[in-house]
Every structure is written in C-alpha cells, then in structure tokens.
Chain A
Amino acid sequence: MAEVLVYVDHVDGAVRKPTLELLTLARRIGEPVAVALGSGAADTASVLAEHGAVKVLTHDASEYADYLVVPKVDALQAAVEAVSPAAVLVPSSAEGKEIAARLALRTGSGIITDAIDLEAGAEGPVATQSVFAASFTTTSRVVKGTPVITVKPNSAAVEAAPAAGAVEALAVTFSAQATGTKVTGRTPRESSGRPELTEAAIVVSGGRGVNGAENFAIIEALADSLGAAVGASRAAVDAGWYPHTNQVGQTGKSVSPQLYIANGISGAIQHRAGMQTSKTIVAVNKDAEAPIFDLVDYGVVGDLFDVVPQLTEEIKARKG
C-alpha cells in the first residue's frame, strides 16, 4: 500500500489535534508515515501510533526553532525523497501552508491549500475546498508530481487506529537557504485556558454590538459555560476590544465548529468567510435586518446584554 506523509504539528512533543485528524484522512489514501521535527519530536510517536502512523520519522536540530520555515522544508523534502509517498498532508496553519508551498515547488508538485475533506480517487487524492467566503464548494486534484495538500482543522474526526508507529531517524541536510531568516525572539502566547479557536467544537463570538473591551466578559462567561473558544469580529478587534489572534473572518481565523454563536455581529462578508461552514449557527443581534440572520439555525432578535447573560445562567442551571 502506498505511504502518505503527514507533517506533525506539535509543541515540545505534544501533538496538536489537527495532526490526528490528518492521520484519519491519510488512512483513506494509504499508510500514514508521520514526520516530526524539532524538540520533543520522538515523544510524539506513541500518540501518532495510536492514531494510525505506521512509521514516525524524526529529526531534532536547533535550526527548526532558530530559523523560519525553510529548515522544515528541507526535512520534509528529505522525507519525500526517502519515502516516495502518494501524497503529503500538512495542517493548514499559516506556517503549514508556507512549508507545503515551498515543498511543492521543490518537488515539482502541485499544491492544494485549506482542504476540508479528502478522498482517494482513481487519479490521486481528491480535495474538497470551500471558496469565495464559503459560497462555493470545489473539488480539485493535483495533476503533477506528489500531491501536497494542506487540510483545515475540524475536517475529519480523530479516530483510534493502532499501528506500529516505529520511530526512525530522518537524515536531513540543511540547504543554503535554511538559515536565511533568523528568529531572534519568541514570546509564547498566554494561554486563556480555553480551547484553541480553530480546533474548538463550540465557538462563541462577539462583535461591534459588544460595545467595549470590558463587555467581552459576558461573551467569555457564555463561552466558559459551554467549554467553548472565544472569537471576535474584525470590528471588535479593530476597535481594540479583543486580541487579533481571536479574530474570525477572512483576515483572521477560519473556523468550522459544531456550534457557532455570534453575538452582536452583523455578518459582513469578511466575517462570514471565516465561519459560514460551521455546522449549527446561532445569532443574537438587536437588528432584525442583520445579514447574519440569513445564516442561522436559530436567531434571537434582542439586546445581547439581556439575552446572553440569561442564556449563560440557563446553561449553568441545566448543567447543574
């Protein structure tokens, strides 16, 4: 059976959920071979094995943390040359897409980004994408080289599928370009204790209607009652009420949770682009004409300062 390379996104050996989703998709095409790089790379093996990795290729070097993107491209290229895979799957993070693009160019291959589904096909893997602010769904194929495909979080379920997960050292020679862009400082994000926005099953967002940074506390309270991540519209972020890392929309994060709750968000195209593929959409807005209501499964026309606290209290009461 053909092997499929899966690039592992991990923090010091802790594998992030989108990588496990990639293993589910990789198993539809062939046998997953994971590539884990940098500090803690070998520690990823057990969890990857539980989810279907037949092999885990690892390499650790300081270059991965000290220089931007290119060292990882060098390693992935070495893995492609060693394995001759049927496809390479990479999580659709900002960095993941850059790594994937450079890899595709080097290996004379096509690249598809932000797939939301992947199936085996007679002429190679077929990727589904959601485009034009989720108003169209396309299916595409790479027609030259080894398909390189980046996949968005929440595109597949995480499935247990025990496999050998044998750890093998990957031999990597860094290119002349590897040390071109130096990382001179790194400030880790402070954890909010809430789920990662792109990975969360439920996202609770606030927009212009929240009307002030201090009022985001009621959005956070609702999120916490549901174990949800907190998002914000561009209007709220541009006003300085909430950090840009939480922005949902075209220039922020694109999310596809089971449930999306939009509070005080009108639903401009820029926002819809980032949340329209959510499974269930709920909105609270005092403007009955707001375009967000065209998308919802359930909407409440009313003042969010009345509706949201009542909703939070009711959820807490029901959860007891």
Chain B
Amino acid sequence: MSLRIVVTVKYVPDATGDRHFADDLTVDRDDVDGLLSELDEYAVEQALQISENSDDDVEITVLTVGPEDAKDALRKALSMGADKAIHVEDDDLHGTDAIGTSLVLAKAIEKAGYDLVISGMASTDGTMGVVPALVAERLGVPQVTLLSEVSVEDGTVRGRRDGDAASEQLEASLPAVVSVTDQSGEARYPSFKGIMAAKKKPVQSWDLSDLDIEAEEVGLDGAFTKVETATARPARTAGTIVKNEGEGGKQLAEFLAGQKFI
C-alpha cells in the first residue's frame, strides 16, 4: 500500500513586520519579509507523523501557489522532512482570491495525485480559513477539518474537531481533505541534516497552462470579490497609564465606573 499526501502551504508576509496593501489593494509582498505560514507548519508536522506511524509507503508532497519567493516556504517544508515540492507560479495569479486559489490548488492536487490533502487551519495573512473546505468541495471528497488530533489507518482518516459547543469525533474514507489546528502538536524544527537534504529534493514548477486554467479564471480580474478601500487603523489615542502605588486596583475601578462599566 502506498499513501500519497499533499500538504498545501502558503508563503505569507511576516506578521511581526509592517504588513500593508499595495496600490492595487492586494497584499504588498515586496516590502515585508515572507515565510512559511506558521499555521501550515502544523500541517507539515501531521503529515510527517502520519508517515512515521504508518506501515505504508508514504510520499509527502508540499504544494504552494505564489510568487517566486514562495519557494522559501517549500524549502522549509522540505527541510522539515517532506519528500518533494510543487510550486504553481504564474504572473496571471496576482490578486487571486480564495475561490480562485482553491481552483488552482484543486487542479494541482489532482494532477499530482493524492490520497490525503492536509492544510493548516487558516493563513496568517488572509485568515479566512475557508480554503480546505473549498478544495474539498472542488475535489468532491470528504472534508475533515479543524482537527486537533488526526490519524490514518486502513484507508480511513479519523480526528477530533473542537468546536464552540462540542468536541466532535470525525471519520471519513480516503481520499479526503484534512485541516489541522495549532493544537495538533508542535511542529519540529528542521535539523541540519534536513536542511542539507532539502537542497537535493525535487521542486517542480507549474504554470496555469500546465493546469488547464485560463487566466480570466484567476487573478485580480477573475476575483469574485473586490476590495474597494483599505485604511490604516488610526493609532489608538494614548491612554492614561498609572503606576501602582498600592491603590492601582481602586484607581482602575474608578476609571471603569467613570466609563459606566460598574
């Protein structure tokens, strides 16, 4: 038996940097350092654990859609232990929204061949958290998403989804699309050996024509949504800061009472 896992990852601007919009109201990617979205590291980690716990022959492919620099995200995943990588890159992809991204991912996943797709719970820039559900809808396979625990055995994926009202145990037959949360287990750091090995692992590049996608279906013009304005949030006006000299709690209560919270 073999198990083909495709892990979708995103290259995002560093959240600790000064993130902002470009003139066309897309996310500016030039002025802020990028990296593998932290939440996708959990997806790579779970793929590696499934592989380590499996008697099957498991092959892990990391897939990203993004500009040239997005290769950095693939390289990081490869250095963690993934086997190979696919980079979908095309100038016409600039400005693609979630619906368009799911089209590109689904076509690439089908072309690569898969039994299991694993994604992070959301990207750290867009934070929508909808792409795994969209990819499942497009592929027509079960969505087993937002898992804090995941396991694969005999062609069945099982996991625990911690929702607001209840914690649910889920089960689906492969092929399936899984997403994992940051509660699924800390992601490993690449070892020196892993970093060296990653340099020799294959990274394939595909463009839209490789995936039979027309330029009009994606990009800013193909988007189903349009950002009309983006405004930097005004800095909060400086508040009152007091040093506790023994009455700090009472002073705070006085402030809250003045604001009618008490």
Contact = CB atoms under 8 A, between A and B. Distances in A.
Tell me whether A and B are bound partners.
yes
A126 B249 contact: no
A94 B129 contact: yes
A276 B121 CA distance: 21
Interface stretch (B59-67, B195-203, B235-243): B235-243
Interface in B128-155: 128-130, 133-134, 136-138, 140-146, 148
B54 to A, nearest CB: 21
B164 A295 contact: no
Size range of the chain B interface in the assembly: 35 or more
A294 interface: yes
A37 to B, nearest CB: 15
Contacts of B243: 288, 300-302
A145 to B, nearest CB: 7
Interface string A204-248: 000000000000000000000010000000000000000011000
Contacts, number: 261
Nearest to B137: A102
**What DSSP secondary structure best describes chain A's contact surface?**
mixed
Nearest to B16: A269
B228 A307 contact: no
Contacts of B259: 259, 280, 297
Given A68-B143, A101-B133, A182 B172 contact: yes
Given A105-B99, A111-B225, A303 B244 contact: yes
Given A110-B99, A250-B15, A245 B141 contact: no
Interface stretch (A25-33, A54-62, A130-138): A130-138
B166 A188 contact: yes
Interface stretch (A42-50, A157-165, A312-320): A312-320
Contact of A102 (B129, B133, B253, B261): B133
Interface of A: 11, 68-70, 73, 93-95, 97-98, 100-102, 104-106, 109-114, 126, 130-145, 176-177, 180-189, 196, 198, 202, 226, 244-245, 250-251, 258-259, 269-270, 273, 276, 280-282, 284, 288, 293-303, 306-315, 318-319
